[in-house]
A and B are shown apart, each in its own frame.
Chain A
Amino acid sequence: MRTDHGHHTRSGQCSCCSMSRRCFLGAAAGAGVVAPMLASAQGAKTPPELGEYVELAALRPKPAVRILGAVVRATPPYWLGWPGTAYDLEGHREEYERSYGEIANHVGVGFEMTNPPLESDDAVAAFVNRIQTEQPDAVLVHIQHLSYWKWADAIAQAGLPTIVFAPIGMSFTGHTLEISRRPKVHVISSLCLEPVEQAFRMIRAMKQMQESRILVVRGEERKETVLERLGTKVRYVPRPAMHEMFEAMPATDEARDIAREMQRVAEKTVEPSSEDCVNAARSFLTAKRLVKDEASNAITTDCLGMVQSKVVPTPPCMAATIFQDHGVTYGCEADLFAAVSLMFVSYLFDKPGFMQDPVAETYKNVLVAAHCTCGTKLNGFTEPPEPVILRSHSESDIGVATQVLWKEGQPVTLVRFQDPNSLILDTGKVVGNVQTPPAGGCRTSVEVAMDRMEDARDVMGFHQVVFYGNHRRDVEAFCQMYGIKVSNSPERGPREAIS
């Protein structure tokens, strides 16, 4: 089971690459130090020890997920009918069961296959009764005969999230046409097992969303709410909770180690000074301390407000990059649903998303996606990162921000939760990186040629989250499974679209 997401050991010794420049973010998260007890800005709460080590990766929820499987088929032996007499029914059943177990281990979910296979109405009814009683997080139905989709249907009707896997040779288009578009159902008709892995990740991601608490640092109020459908808790804490803790956060050994590593692994450092890097590291320590103290799993802050009022010497851009690379969401500008979108990408795809301001580049007809913080492990938490340059936060020209260079030709997906029940989904391809200067705006600035759209001006939403890979169908599958409405940017301009 891969659950470390690129996590590095606390000693700073990287087991995967002997502390290459690409792995500094892991070391940053893993370096532990002890600092003196300091006052905090937690209101009535007991002041925590600011120097107490907080393991960043531990902030990512790892819920127990249970998926119950069953094979449905005609009682063998039988004559004719797909998959056919030549098909090694038992051999393939055992092989698939083994694969499901391996995939479950890899994704970090529990999988339990029901044996023997279900071969009668009574057996299916008993299974339905069982899942209704036990309420697993999802059910996997493996089809092993063309004529028994009715049993997959009966199991899906139980109302639990249902994954139906039918290896090629178990269905015609007519079998999958309706059930594959049904809410709470995800049909995979394929010989490939990658979609099964993604389906398991989908079930895990929803459980992670349900078990997560996002900390929103803004304003003066302290309160908590829960998001419809996703079940994510949203805790609001006053903004001073962060900047007062930052002020008290010492420049510990851990902070200095992180600051050094930032500079060492970057392709280059343009504007930031060594002091800026130490402050950026203190900002990182403050954020993970605050998230832990508030029993949370993600954070978004009124960062621009803090910079504007000059209560911090650095925006948290660098801290957000480190968080994102460890599967822990750090959103900008206290934009709740941008943070939800970041968290969604992190949990569903095990890679960081990039929250950005969308700009229409009208000459090239591309979208420029721009912000001053971006994860580097865009290929996945366990994959090599993309090159990073340390810059100042562009709008204020202070602190440490990250310019991450995206891979040209890379397909990307854009998502943005509008509210807990609806999401904007688009795809495109990276065609370049914009430099600042000559451009203004933000340090990571990526040109995206949009798919299925005539005009980049029509891209819907703001603070959409961009991430590597064309995951349009994966996102649609998640939304179908959990009842989230999907909308896409218009293919043509608005007048033509409705006339």
Chain B
Amino acid sequence: MKTKAALALLALAVTALAADESARTLSSPGFPPSKIAANGAIEELWGTVALAVLEPAGMTVAEQRFEERPVPTAVTTKRAGDIVLEETAYRAPIWPGGVDVLSAAVSNTGAAAARTLLEVQMPETVGLGEQTGAAEGRPVVALPLGVEPVREEREWGCTGGPSSLPGWAKPSTDCDPAFKNIRAGMGGIPITYKFRLEPGGRRKVVLGLCESHWQVAGQRPVVLRVEGAPERELDPVAEWGQHVPGCIAFDAIDANKDGRLEVTVDPHPAASDKNTILNVIWVFDSGLVISDGDVLTGKLNDKAEYYVDAGGERDQSLYKGGTLRYALELQPGESRQLLFLLSSPGGGAVPDPANMAWTAASLRKAAEDVWRDW
């Protein structure tokens, strides 16, 4: 009997735990859930995202509650001095696969103006761009608009947004192995890289492209913009053919003298496929005499100041990955809202916040609409 009673108690405990666990999730009909930790951290398949107030010091979790209706929502409240951080998290069922929404309301409850430092803790593997963070080759975090994070830049890198698609291209002629990989600006977003150099400096930049999707010309022409050089329209299939790698050279100048050389691939206005692609970038000394053939086959890789296998293993974001910080000045009673979107299980890339139509209100409405009629 004792054993039976113990087993029954254990079963009850397991059931209670399971119920508790199921409550601590974000979900949407038909999609796998994400977990919410006791400190409000959201556990995604690609890593965990947590918010913390670094300044003022002494942050504590004051409260965490879960709401089942109208949308399963986790609200976690943290306090640090006069600063209150309220995190509201739920799943927005945006097409095609949904995103987890993390809305942070940072408020100054004190009588004096206050500075606060908010930290967004993310895995080091998340490469950060201007508006998104990427992991596993796709954007997984959309950052708030209208507020600049404090972050450190690398010597070179992609400013973020485009996906990495290793092995996408099938070059049909002898060429550098980097031609097999691409960065892709899905949804027509530009691909931008920046390279550090002396302000006003000159370089020779060579861009390598290989189109392996379209068989006929005219589908995906692109516009190549290299700082200080005339822009160039290019249709790789018209120029070289499908699967055929090719190079285009530019005499580049740091025209705005900011110590950064900017290289961008934009969609051509006439393109039916506006998803941009880029395979390789070489940045050489401006005085170096090069032949396109030698560049294309990778023979001059070791002569390059920068050699970028776009979308390859050693490609990188311009900004150092992982944790981000936001410094906010808040007047007494002032509150700021920061909206983060996180790639959720069953979902894909998060939308680019600079180009999306979603707002905090429409994301919430989408979730309420779906749950109401489900």
Contacts and interface: CB of A to CB of B under 8 A. Distances in A.
Contact of B351 (A228, A233, A295): A228
Nearest to A484: B357
Given A221-B30, A494-B238, A498-B270, A226 B219 contact: no
A213 B373 CA distance: 10
B238 A495 contact: yes
A460 interface: yes
A357 interface: no
A487 B272 contact: yes
Contacts of B366: 226, 231
Interface string B83-111: 00000000011111110000000000000
Contact of B370 (A233, A420, A460): A233
A227 interface: yes
Contact of A225 (B97, B233, B235, B268): B97
A35 B221 CA distance: 58
B363 to A, nearest CB: 9
Given A223-B31, A228-B356, A498-B221, A233 B97 contact: no
A219 to B, nearest CB: 11
Given A224-B370, A483-B357, A497-B221, 16 more contacts: A224-B30, A225-B94, A225-B95, A225-B98, A225-B370, A226-B93, A226-B370, A421-B187, A458-B218, A460-B272, A461-B272, A487-B272, A490-B270, A494-B216, A498-B270, A499-B233
Contacts of B221: 494, 497-498
Interface in A403-428: 419-421, 424
A460 B93 CA distance: 30
A495 B93 CA distance: 41
The 10 residue pairs across chains A and B that have the minimum distance between CB atoms: A494-B218, A223-B30, A226-B366, A225-B95, A229-B357, A494-B217, A498-B221, A460-B272, A224-B370, A225-B93
Interface string A199-238: 0000000000000010000000111111111010110100
A231 to B, nearest CB: 7
Contacts of A420: 95, 357
6 contacts: A225-B95, A226-B370, A420-B95, A458-B218, A494-B217, A498-B238
A414 to B, nearest CB: 14
Chain B contact patch, size range: 20 to 34
Interface of A: 213, 221-229, 231, 233-234, 236, 295, 419-421, 424, 458, 460-461, 483, 487, 489-490, 493-495, 497-499
Given A221-B30, A228-B357, A236-B30, A494 B94 contact: no
Contacts of B268: 498
B218 A497 contact: yes
B370 A498 contact: no
B218 A495 contact: yes
A498 B30 contact: no
B21 interface: no
Contacts of A227: 95
B358 A228 contact: yes
A476 B238 CA distance: 31
B344 to A, nearest CB: 12
Contact of B233 (A228, A419, A458, A498): A498
Nearest to A461: B272
A494 B219 contact: yes
A236 B374 CA distance: 12
B362 A223 contact: no
A493 B218 contact: yes
